[in-house]
Chains A and B, each alone.
Chain A
Amino acid sequence: QKEVEQNSGPLSVPEGAIASLNCTYSDRGSQSFFWYRQYSGKSPELIMFIYSNGDKEDGRFTAQLNKASQYVSLLIRDSQPSDSATYLCAVNYNQGGKLIFGQGTELSVKP
């Protein structure tokens, strides 16, 4: 069974620090990878997607992909209290758009 693993947290970082969120996946055939942010009581919203090895940057967010190690991460620079949320990693196994989600990592940014 294809799996996506994340540490549930909570991960606590001080305001202004770099938050590092990690995700591993089981199937080497995975093609694209997504990070969603979910605030408490709200639905997930897309932050970034990545499909090539290496880094992809968007503002304070950087996604990193290492297909050889089956590892994808999300770095949040200059963390803000408003970044406090659960971050979901999702993987596309090329099954017509179906994504497999990890259980999410809860991030808490302390002022």
Chain B
Amino acid sequence: ETGVTQSPTHLIKTRGQQVTLRCSSQSGHNTVSWYQQALGQGPQFIFQYYREEENGRGNFPPRFSGLQFPNYSSELNVNALELDDSALYLCASSSRVSGNTIYFGEGSWLTVV
């Protein structure tokens, strides 16, 4: 069984730029959630995608957007990057079989300078 995979693992961007992070869900999982984890903090929910549509959103501005593809993989896009966007971005997948349990990838470390 393939777990959740994310890319890239690390990246550095300049303030004002845009970034795209990618996630492949665990085999058999059709729901993908994205979380932001600032240094020393717990993960904060950004949004969730199910059947290619946004299915819940946390307290993040519209410059955080996403997509889900027919194969259930997903992208997180962040426009107009700010210094405070520097964080670990975690993707998690789940399915009806996994119930309300989500399984995380290793994350993408984003540094904004």
Q: Do A and B interact with each other, yes or no?
A: no
